[in-house]
A and B are shown apart, each in its own frame.
Chain A
Amino acid sequence: MVPIEWYLIVAGTIFTIGMIGVIIARNVMIIFMSVELMLNAANLAIVAFSRELAVMGGQIMVFVVMTVAAAEAAVGLAIILALFRVRDTDSANIDHVNLLKW
């Protein structure tokens, strides 16, 4: 039986990698994927706690987080599409997006 601490450390590591990605990546898509990584690491930690405490509510929480991730992906990708429509070249670089309205 693998102790829960190991799962928490894996979740923490993946969350940290996602955070590094958000800070250093300049490509909009890769930043967005790093956010997904962080959501997933949080899910892993919640499932680990749910298993450890034998509480079913944790798994329902992960279910809700997945719904939020799907909604976030839909809206976020729509924003990226709108961004590319307005600024036609090189908008994949987040540093070129510095105006709220064009």
Chain B
Amino acid sequence: MDTFVFFAAAAIAISASILVITQRNPISSVMYLVTSFVAQVILFIKLSAAFLAMLQIIVYAGAIMVLFLFVIMLLNLRREEYGKDIKMRYKPIAVAFAIVLLLEVVVIVNGSELAHRAQASLPADFGSVKAVGVELFTHYLYPFELTSVLLIVAVLGAVVMAKRSL
């Protein structure tokens, strides 16, 4: 059952990802991207990261993807403006890079010691809201404050970029 859930989620995530890059219409792309994210949420839960799984649904599949949809609908592209979306000239390059990358992943995963090491024992509340929160506000307080600065800079940047005249 465990393995079945993993394979189902992985298959959905990978096939939805492939559909994202092969759609002509960006709106269907966004929908497949959300599907892929939700499938990855299942993998997150199986990796005992419950808080991150909820964050993934709310922030990624919710907020960021809605932002994408807003912009696509705001641009109001007509069908002929979608254009030729796949460029044949770049296909061989992409395939070559993909083969090299996948080979690298397989070689590194095979050659690593991961398979031989005993799995570390997990505390019962690993990945819960409380555990992540305690870690975030004690150990990683400084990086956490920096992320708020990053968000402010991003908001200012977006306003400056999107405004007609400052």
Residues of A within 8 A of B (CB): 1-10, 12-21, 23-27, 29-30, 32-34, 36-37, 40, 43-44, 47-48, 50-54, 56-57, 59-60, 62-64, 66-75, 77-82, 84-85, 89-90, 92-93, 95
Residues of B within 8 A of A (CB): 2-3, 6, 10, 13-14, 17-18, 20-21, 23, 26, 29-30, 33, 36-37, 40, 43-44, 46-49, 51-52, 55-56, 59-60, 63-64, 67-68, 71-72, 74-75, 77, 81-87, 90-91, 93-95, 97-98, 101-102, 105-106, 109-110, 114-115, 119-123, 126-127, 131-132, 135-136, 139-140, 143, 147, 150-151, 153-155, 157-159, 161-162, 164
Report yes or no: A57 in contact with B90, Cβ–Cβ below 8 A: no
Residues in B neighbouring A62, C-beta threshold 8 A: 49, 52
Q: Besides A24-B87, A59-B127, A71-B150, 20 other CB < 8 A contacts?
A: A5-B110, A5-B115, A10-B10, A12-B109, A17-B17, A17-B21, A18-B17, A20-B21, A26-B84, A26-B85, A26-B86, A29-B26, A33-B29, A48-B47, A51-B126, A56-B127, A78-B158, A78-B159, A85-B164, A92-B77
Report yes or no: B47 in contact with A24, Cβ–Cβ below 8 A: no
- Can you list 22 contacts pairing A with B, beta carbon distance less than 8 Å? A1-B119, A3-B114, A5-B109, A5-B115, A6-B6, A12-B102, A13-B14, A14-B14, A17-B21, A26-B84, A29-B71, A36-B60, A36-B64, A37-B20, A47-B44, A50-B47, A54-B120, A59-B135, A63-B147, A67-B147, A69-B64, A92-B75
Known: A14-B36, A60-B132. A70 touches B52 (CB 8 A): no
Q: Taking the nearest CB of chain A, how far is it from the CB of B119, in angstroms?
A: 7
Q: Taking the nearest CB of chain B, how far is it from the CB of A100, in angstroms?
A: 14
Residues in A neighbouring B26, C-beta threshold 8 A: 27, 29-30, 33, 92
Report yes or no: B82 in contact with A19, Cβ–Cβ below 8 A: no
Residues in A neighbouring B157, C-beta threshold 8 A: 74-75, 78
Which of B2, B17, B49, B91 interacts with A37 by CB under 8 Å?
B17
Residues in A neighbouring B52, C-beta threshold 8 A: 47, 59, 62-63
Q: With A and B bound together, what is the CA distance between A15 and B101 in angstroms? A: 9
Report yes or no: B94 in contact with A20, Cβ–Cβ below 8 A: yes
Report yes or no: A2 in contact with B2, Cβ–Cβ below 8 A: yes
Q: Taking the nearest CB of chain A, how far is it from the CB of B153, in angstroms?
A: 7
Report yes or no: A54 in contact with B46, Cβ–Cβ below 8 A: no
